[in-house]
């Protein structure tokens, strides 16, 4: 009886260790994607428009692990990227966008009505809305929302592109890695 209990505890510890190692790896990968976006502008001259490469990691982790790991990875990536590349305000905008985006993606995923692509698209739009909400609060000006149609379109486009890419990558990753 005690042998079974010890084996169960060892198994749980091994699973947590594996999840921690995967989380660290995914956080590093998301940070690398943030760095790539910082050095190679994809925005085609429109302020605030990015591809959202780090969202590839967040979406895959949301689907293959769970929302807690996705949140942890997203927050770690945003805080470190903010310190390294965009400063405190950049981190604040990204944190608001990242948390709102993840919340929307998690809720839509739970409904099972949307594909990974649809979930990613909604996340892209929600990310831009979160950033816009913080910007409007900081400058105390609701006129900031006049910029939302541009950000919504870019969120849709980049969300679809990242969703397609995440779906392709996720289909190639052996599922035993996550179990």
pLDDT average, residue stretch 83-107: 94
Summary mean pLDDT of the chain: 91
Name the nearest CA neighbour of 56 among 169, 137, 153, 147: 169
- 2-178 belongs to which CATH class? mainly alpha
- Residue 27 near residue 77 (C-beta atoms within 8 A): yes
Asked whether 123 and 105 are in contact (CB, 8 A), the reply is yes
Dihedral of the alpha carbons of 106, 111, 130, 94, in degrees to the nearest 10: 20
Over the stretch 38-87, which tens digit does the pLDDT of each residue have?
888 766 667 667 889 999 999 999 999 999 999 999 999 999 999 998 88
pLDDT at 120: 98
- pTM score: 0.89
- How many Cα atoms within 13 Å fall on the side-chain side of residue 155? 25
Render pLDDT for 103-133 as a digit per residue (tens, 0 to 9).
Answer: 999 999 999 999 999 999 999 999 999 999 9
């Amino acid at each position: 009886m005690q042998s079974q209990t010890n084996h169960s505890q060892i198994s749980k510890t091994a699973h947590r260790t594996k999840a921690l190692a995967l989380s660290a790896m995914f956080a590093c990968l998301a940070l690398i994607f943030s760095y790539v976006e910082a050095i190679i502008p994809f925005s085609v001259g429109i302020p605030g428009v990015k591809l959202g490469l780090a969202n590839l990691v967040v979406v895959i982790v949301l689907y293959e692990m769970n929302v807690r790991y996705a949140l942890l990875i997203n927050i770690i990536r945003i805080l470190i990227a903010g310190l390294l590349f965009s400063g405190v305000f950049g981190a604040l905008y990204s944190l608001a966008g990242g948390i709102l985006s993840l919340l929307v993606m998690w809720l839509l995923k739970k409904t099972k009505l949307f594909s990974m692509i649809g979930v990613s698209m909604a996340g892209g739009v929600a990310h831009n809305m979160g950033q816009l909400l913080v910007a409007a609060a900081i400058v105390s000006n609701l006129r900031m929302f006049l910029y939302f149609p541009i950000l919504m379109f870019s969120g849709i486009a980049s969300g679809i592109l990242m969703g397609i890419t995440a779906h392709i990558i996720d289909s190639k990753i052996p599922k035993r890695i996550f179990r």
